[in-house]
Amino acid sequence: MSRKRFKVAAVAGALLLAVTACSQGSTTKQPDAGGSQSSGPAHIKIAYQQWGPGVVMKNFLTGVKSEYEAANPGSTVEILPIVASENDYYTKLQLMMRSPNTAPDVVYEDTFLINSDITAGYLKPLDDYINKWDQWGQFQDTAKGAAKALDGKTYGVPDGTDTRALWYNKQIFAKAGLPADWQPKTWDDVLSAARTIKQKVPGVIPMNVYSGKPMGEASAMQGFEMLLYGTKDTLYNNEQQKWVVGSQGFKDSLNFIKTIYTEGLAPSPKQALDPNMGSKVGTELLPGGKLGIALDGSWIYGNWQKTGAKPWPQWTEVMGQTAMPTQDGGGKGKVSLSGGWTWAIPAKSKNPDAAWNLIKTLQTQKNATKYATDGAQIAVRKDVAADATYKNSAKSTQFFTDLVSVTVYRPAFAEYPKVSNEIITAMEAVMTGQSTPDKAAKNYDEAVEGIVGKDKTTSGQ
């Protein structure tokens, strides 16, 4: 789960040269829109983000590749891992999709980018395929909605969703004299626990909230928006259909970021601005007993499973989960943000019919269950959600699934990636001490007005 374009010009030249060198494959006929087989093999390229040392997606795609090639003699699947931070992944993927010479046939697409990528002409609508697919009815309506664009068409097949909450180390809590069954009711409760850890358990980072540009959308969504949506304000006013500026909730959220960094309750700015911070939280800091509280996603335990990057059998006893509270305990009392990823077909794919057939293979009940289980995803297929293997796959599955009842989705508009980038800019300015929360919020307001137009903004509460 973004918008900073790291050295786009330099990346474009190198990336396009590298990808062009890959085999372009056959363009002969393959399965039609309904999925029926037709003559001729095809070479299909599938691109995804290789995130840190994790191998779950790599292993999953390798298995699907073997399955597809066995069922389609002569066809080949080329797996293209894009080893990059989240921001760089989005940039590189968009560069690849610009040209038929470099466009993959299947891409792993974050739902928040669907509308902006459609506006740029990067994605192919899938409705003609989906309407003839007997498995589409197994997908939950909320998941379908996340993959649907503002034009009413569907541009991706979801493979899972997620929720977010507070993970905490019970061993560190015990040393700090904090309860094993921790249930904070307000932001002050969260800060109080972090301060206690700092005082009583030296050498441990009390709390991590992703912040700053290198962590991209993780900063905006997992960090800032998990705070903002616990206030009385939001990013977008759905009733007025306008973006919110001048909100007290925005300033209060930046003040929370300022507090944890100025009081030493968070990683140092240097640590936090490491593009690999997300990987380090899951594979080093939490399993190593070096982090007390992490505002993070439902999937993080995937690192600790047998198939994960850092197998850690003890995690079920050591790690606790609790909902992120609202600012003052009001509203629903807790907050979560949800996102998700989809398998999509670039508009300039040379083999769209074969690509669709590969997506169907990726999303059979068997394969969807395997990925949801190994990848620590919240299932989006009804039959997977009911599967005993999935339901019993982890101690935390039910907890994070229950958060769907309070979850919030990001505004699904083409402008969101640019707005998100301004959130990240404001966070970084505050965490590094370059700006006060009030000044950073003012700069954000002005930037949003420039992005969407002043007439498409409204004042917060």
CATH number of the structural domain spanning residue 426: 3.40.190.10
Contacts (Cβ under 8 Å, ≥6 apart) of 417 = 2, 3, 90, 112, 113, 116
Domain match, 153 and 301 both: no
Domain match, 237 and 315 both: yes
**Structure tokens, 122:** 């990067």
Buried b (16+ CB within 10 A) or exposed e, 218-246: bbbbbbbbbbbbbbbbbbbbeeeebbbbb
CA atoms of 161 and 170, how far apart (whole Å):
27
Contacts (Cβ under 8 Å, ≥6 apart) of 235 = 225, 228, 243, 244, 410, 411, 419
Domain match, 264 and 403 both: no
φ, ψ (nearest 5 deg) of residue 291: -140, 125
Domain match, 186 and 135 both: no
Nearest CA-CA partner of 123 in 400, 315, 345, 429:
345
Domain match, 251 and 330 both: yes
Alpha carbon distances (Å) from 23 to 18, 159, 294, 305, 351: 11, 27, 42, 35, 13
**Structure tokens, 324:** 């992120």
Domain match, 273 and 299 both: yes
Q: Is 4 among the domain residues?
A: no
Q: Is 319 among the domain residues?
A: yes
CA atoms of 56 and 109, how far apart (whole Å):
17
Domain match, 282 and 300 both: yes
Domain match, 293 and 398 both: no
Q: Is 9 among the domain residues?
A: no
Nearest CA-CA partner of 172 in 209, 126, 206:
206
Domain match, 419 and 382 both: no
Domain match, 206 and 301 both: yes
Q: Is 15 among the domain residues?
A: no
Nearest CA-CA partner of 277 in 200, 209, 344, 227:
209
Q: Are 414 and 119 in contact (CB under 8 A)?
A: yes
Domain match, 269 and 374 both: no
Residues in the chain predicted with pLDDT less than 50, given as ranges, are 1-39
CA atoms of 393 and 60, how far apart (whole Å):
17
Look at residue 86 in the predicted model and tell me its pLDDT.
Answer: 73
Q: What is the pLDDT of residues 188-215, one digit of tens each?
A: 999 999 999 999 999 999 999 999 999 9
Buried b (16+ CB within 10 A) or exposed e, 91-116: bbbbbbbbeeebbbbbbbbbbbbbbb
CA atoms of 59 and 306, how far apart (whole Å):
13
Q: Are 319 and 167 in contact (CB under 8 A)?
A: yes
**Domain span including residue 242:** 164-337+412-459
CA atoms of 401 and 344, how far apart (whole Å):
25
Report the amino acid identity of residue 386: A
Q: What is the pLDDT of residues 36-87, one digit of tens each?
A: 344 458 999 999 998 767 788 999 999 999 999 999 999 999 999 998 877 7
**Structure tokens, 160:** 């899972």
Q: Is 183 among the domain residues?
A: yes
> Which parts of 201-268 fold into alpha helices (H)?
217, 226-228, 248-262
Look at residue 309 in the predicted model and tell me its pLDDT.
Answer: 87
Q: Is 112 among the domain residues?
A: yes
Look at residue 40 in the predicted model and tell me its pLDDT.
Answer: 59
Q: Is 14 among the domain residues?
A: no
Total domains in the chain come to: 2
Rg over CA atoms, the chain:
22
Sheet of 407-409, strands arranged across:
324-325, 334-338, 407-409
Alpha carbon distances (Å) from 19 to 27, 57, 84, 92, 121: 17, 20, 15, 11, 20
Q: Is 308 among the domain residues?
A: yes
Domain match, 329 and 423 both: yes
